[in-house]
């Protein structure tokens, strides 16, 4: 176990690495247990080029487990988060996830990034394990598996939202540069479609390799296209290299960047502040992510959990990172459903996810796990409205796409600067 500085009774809140769980293969059986900790498997890349995604997913689960445990746990059982490292590579993801499902006694699975979802989602579905996922693959737009719950719009919607924001800013000629990562490539279709539908010219469209030593040739091509702005997504290291070289080759004339909140990482913004300027980072980078509510109760508890678990600067910046608020809410929703069903077995609590999220006459609106727990104990019906607002799942267990755009206002602070509505995303998708 790796202690993270917060305790439930005498036990530390922890992420347990699946590598160590493999040692238990001979003496443990798959599926949920009726006693012991409630285990949430965080399926994400914790090693490799996309390890920053796993870091974000792990933080979201830890924050949710912290507030659940602080309120007394799930049916007085401690909640813990378990790392399931898919490495960001489908070849590794299949065996690693299969091993975790067989040995870790998981009660819930969260995460599953787009790069490996095609391999890992079927494994989780076959195990009849409730899955709260952030993967953006469009093939799950018409999902029929009852255990599948997607708490963010798909990547096609996010790509369209990037295009829509470019149009909102009045740009008529933009460059599109996406890294050859699954998590970035899945946005390409929506971005291209959105730019065309909204009448924004694509000056140049490039796919660049991950973690190249130099992007000089690609940068030169983009400079020659004279874009008003650049829409780009990838990992922090690659984008840092790309824009540092852009600044050098263009003699400091770098167009504004429109990217996703995945890039709101300290390593990226600190490097660009040093290599370009603080002014560029704070005034010329727009970070787009899934919309979240500023409800005082939900946000206060979410901020408090991150503040307890992370260094101060990182906690402040990570508030807006894509995936953190939605996954946090997803774990809270599942915990409330378990409480309603008096069971952590997916077969018992899965159907109650709708019951604790959908609006209905007479339902008590709650914004925190503790408030939901109190209401359920009092025999009330509830609707959880969290950091991401209300969750209106459709018949395929997907949610609509509303997005928010942030600017970095300080080394650790951000501020919302625009909203991209579901109607505008729909328009962008034609």
- Domain map of the chain by residue range? 2-153+297-390, 156-292+411-428
3-state secondary structure of 407: strand
Q: In what order do the strands lie in the sheet with 2-8?
A: 2-8, 11-17, 79-85, 38-44, 108-111, 131-133, 148-150
- What pLDDT does residue 267 have? 78
Q: Strands of 213-254 (E only): list them.
A: 229-233
Instruction: Please report, in tens digits, the pLDDT of each residue of the chain (430 residues total).
Output: 222 222 223 233 445 544 433 333 333 334 556 679 999 999 999 998 888 888 889 999 999 999 999 999 999 999 999 999 999 999 999 999 999 999 999 999 999 888 899 999 999 999 999 999 988 888 898 999 999 999 988 888 899 999 999 999 999 999 999 998 765 677 898 999 999 999 999 999 999 998 899 999 999 999 999 999 999 988 888 999 999 999 999 999 999 999 998 787 777 888 999 999 999 999 999 999 887 766 678 888 988 898 888 776 665 555 555 557 889 999 999 999 999 999 999 999 999 999 999 999 999 999 999 999 999 999 999 999 998 888 989 999 998 778 999 998 876 678 889 999 888 998 998 8
CATH number assigned to the domain covering 156-292+411-428: 3.40.50.2300
- What pLDDT does residue 8 have? 29
Query: Which class for 423: exposed (0-12), middle (13-18), buried (19 or more C-beta within 10 A)?
Result: exposed
- What pLDDT does residue 4 have? 26
- What pLDDT does residue 153 have? 85
Task: Show the tokens assigned to 286.
Answer: 């727009």
- What pLDDT does residue 183 have? 59
pTM comes to 0.75
Q: Strands of 257-361 (E only): list them.
A: 257-260, 285-290
- What pLDDT does residue 1 have? 23
Whether residue 229 contacts residue 167, with contact meaning beta carbons closer than 8 Å, is answered with no
Name the nearest CA neighbour of 276 among 298, 302, 249, 295. 249
Residue 35: CA count within 13 A, CB half-sphere? 0
Whether residue 420 contacts residue 168, with contact meaning beta carbons closer than 8 Å, is answered with yes
Name the nearest CA neighbour of 120 among 104, 133, 138. 133
Topology, domain 2-153+297-390: Rossmann fold (3.40.50)
- What pLDDT does residue 210 have? 87
Domains 2-153+297-390 and 156-292+411-428 share a fold: yes
Residue 306: which H helix or E strand, with range?
Answer: helix 296-309
């Amino acid at each position: 176990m790796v202690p993270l500085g917060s305790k439930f009774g005498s036990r530390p809140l922890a992420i347990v690495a699946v590598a160590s769980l493999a040692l238990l293969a001979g003496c443990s059986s798959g599926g949920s247990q009726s006693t012991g900790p409630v285990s949430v498997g965080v399926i994400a890349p914790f090693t490799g080029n996309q390890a920053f995604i796993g870091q974000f997913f792990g933080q979201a689960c830890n924050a949710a487990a912290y507030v659940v445990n602080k309120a007394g746990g799930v049916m007085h059982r401690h909640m813990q988060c378990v790392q399931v490292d898919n490495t960001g590579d489908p070849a590794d993801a299949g065996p690693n996830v299969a091993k975790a499902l067989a040995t870790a006694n998981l009660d819930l699975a969260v995460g599953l990034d787009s790069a490996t979802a095609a391999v890992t989602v079927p494994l989780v579905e076959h195990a009849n394990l409730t899955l709260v996922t952030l993967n953006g693959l469009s093939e799950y737009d018409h999902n029929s598996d009852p255990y599948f719950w997607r708490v963010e719009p798909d990547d096609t919607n996010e790509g369209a939202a990037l295009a829509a924001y470019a149009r909102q800013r009045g740009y008529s000629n933009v460059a599109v540069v996406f890294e050859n990562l699954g998590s970035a490539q899945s946005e390409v279709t929506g971005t291209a479609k959105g730019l065309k539908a909204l009448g924004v010219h694509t000056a140049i469209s490039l796919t660049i390799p991950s973690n190249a030593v130099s992007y000089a040739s690609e940068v030169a091509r983009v400079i020659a296209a004279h874009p008003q702005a650049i829409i780009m997504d990838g990992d922090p290291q690659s984008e840092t290299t790309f824009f540092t070289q852009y600044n050098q080759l263009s003699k400091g004339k770098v167009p504004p960047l429109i990217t996703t909140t995945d890039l709101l990482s300290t390593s990226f913004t600190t490097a660009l502040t040093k290599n370009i300027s603080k002014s560029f980072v704070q005034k010329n980078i727009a970070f787009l992510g899934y919309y979240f509510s500023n409800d005082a109760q939900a946000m206060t508890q979410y901020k408090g959990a991150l503040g307890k678990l992370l260094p101060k600067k990182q906690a402040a910046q990570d508030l807006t990172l894509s995936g953190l608020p939605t996954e946090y809410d997803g774990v809270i929703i599942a915990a409330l459903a378990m409480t309603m069903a008096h069971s952590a077995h997916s077969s018992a609590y899965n159907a109650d996810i709708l019951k604790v999220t959908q609006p209905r006459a007479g339902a008590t609106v709650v914004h925190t796990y503790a408030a939901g727990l109190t209401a359920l104990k009092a025999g009330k019906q509830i609707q959880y409205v969290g950091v991401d607002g209300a969750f209106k799942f459709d018949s395929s267990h997907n949610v609509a796409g509303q997005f928010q755009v942030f600017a970095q206002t300080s080394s650790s602070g951000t501020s919302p600067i625009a909203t991209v509505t579901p109607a505008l995303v729909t328009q962008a998708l034609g």
